[in-house]
Amino acid sequence: MSLSFEDKNGKSIVTNVTTELNGFSLEVVDSAIYEAVRWLEKEQNDEGFWVGILETNSCMEAQWVLAMYFMGVKNDPKHDGIIRAILREQRQDGSWEVYHEAPDGDINTTVECYAALRSAGFKPDDEPLKKARKWILSHGGLRKIRNFTRFWLALIGEWPWEYTPAVPPEMIMVPVWAPFNIYWFASWARATIVPLAVLSAHRPVKPLPPDSRLDELFPEGRENFDYSMPKRLSGFWPTFFRVNERLLHHYMNSPVKPFRETAIKLCLEWIIKHQDPDGAWGGIQPPLIYSLMALYTEGYPVDHPVMFKGMDAWNHHWSYRRGDAIYIHASESPIWDTVLAFQALLDCGETFETFPGMAKALEWLLDKQIFVKGDWAMTVKGVECGGWAFNGQTDFILTLTIPQLRWSSLQG
């Protein structure tokens, strides 16, 4: 049999194929395509888009638990379900992994889950913690954890702030043309750095209760523990950044910081301005959770409209259920998912007549096109607006255009 295709220039290409495709008959392939199209038909949102669950590691749930502890939020109805999600993902060896069916556990995820369970009232002798602690200590212990995990432990009084990276809020005042201006960072990194800078400036601590502290993770005593960052790399750039880090720490500890209050005020204004319509920030979990803690540290109560809107995001599409467990979404991508689903339907020969939902999907996509300038315009000049954000919730970030959906294809 033969199949006809079009190349990128619209030229028709005819090719002969066998009736077998990698061991499967074309009838089986046709049946699978039919079932996939019916699945897309069933899973399409009423508004016209498609979006799948973005599965990630248990840091999402652990950090939510730690953030709620830090901000003094009690009796949240999601709490027990999120604890169940953490426990459900623990591996047989006591660790938590960083991706599905990883060959080994991850030290950062495991330490954050351990700290979250301790903050939730679990005891060191509870079986999940006994297994986790044995794994942590046998895999290098707290000396191996990353900077983000150090931040979380510092927030609950289990790590000295002076041994975390210094993130000065004055970064927000660096001009666009200069190195390390926030607009030269990736969008998610920028939206994370700004609230982290507020936290780094204040170094807030909500200590764990005495009977919940992580003393058991310091088997030789805290006084004998080396909190410094291991020097894993050598050469010019690693040395440059280590020296820069020391200078920043000297500045952060200096009593003379003439622009500190102005910088913090600018950071807060930036955070509030950049909140998305759904209450989150930047379409990803780190800016959401760090922004809420930064605002809380600056005196914003959890019932303040900006705070309430951010907290409420987790009651909607920023969390999902599996049985009696509640998981936290790290991000979501309805624009990407809808474009890919639309393209797949076109590739399978579907049309607006055979698949009426395609018209609704196209309408939704066109409605999400962004025609206002966002953060990208700070470094990209002379370009008209007209792109899309991957998550469909923000006007500040453009991550893609949709060249695949050629108008000629849509016209049939």
Tens digit of each residue's pLDDT (9 = 90 or more) over 230-287: 777 677 767 777 777 777 777 787 787 889 999 999 999 999 999 999 999 988 999 9
For the chain, the domain total comes to 2
The rounded percent of the chain whose pLDDT value lies above 70 is: 89
Q: Quote the pLDDT of residue 367.
A: 92
297, 310: one domain:
yes
Q: State whether 27 and 101 are in the same domain.
A: no
Give dist(CA 319, CA 331) in Å, integer: 10
Full residue range of the structural domain in which residue 276 is found? 59-328
CB 97, CB 106: distance < 8 Å: yes
Query: Facing residues of 399 across strands?
Result: none
Q: Please tell me the pTM assigned to this model.
A: 0.88
* Domain limit, last residue, from 328, 348, 363: 328
Q: 396 and 312 in one domain?
A: no
Domain of 27: which CATH number? 1.50.10.20
- If asked whether residues 67 and 177 sit together in one domain, one would say yes
Q: Give the CB-side neighbour count of residue 233, counting CA atoms within 13 A.
A: 8
Are residues 104 and 12 part of one domain?
Answer: no
**Of the segments 4-8, 73-77, 369-373, which one has the largest average pLDDT value?**
73-77
Residues 234, 115 share a domain: yes
The pLDDT value given to residue 162: 93
Residue 112: both structure tokens together:
């954050």
* Final residue in a domain of this structure, among 272, 303, 328: 328
Together in a domain, 223 and 349: no
- The token pair that represents 54 in the structure block: 């973005």
Say whether both 239 and 305 belong to one domain.
yes
Same domain? For 299 and 378 the reply is no
Q: What are the C-alpha distances in Å from 345 to residues 2, 42, 59? A: 20, 14, 35
Q: Percentage of residues in the chain with pLDDT exceeding 90?
A: 71
How is residue 331 written in tokens? 């991000």
What is the pLDDT, as a whole number, of residue 298? 98
* Domain stop point among 282, 307, 328: 328
Residues 169, 195: one domain?
yes
Q: What's residue 94's pLDDT?
A: 98
Both 134 and 193 in a single domain?
yes
Asked whether residue 115 falls in the same domain as residue 150, the answer is: yes
- Which of 48, 82, 249, 217 has its CA nearest to residue 136? 217
Residues 365-384, mean pLDDT to the nearest whole number: 88
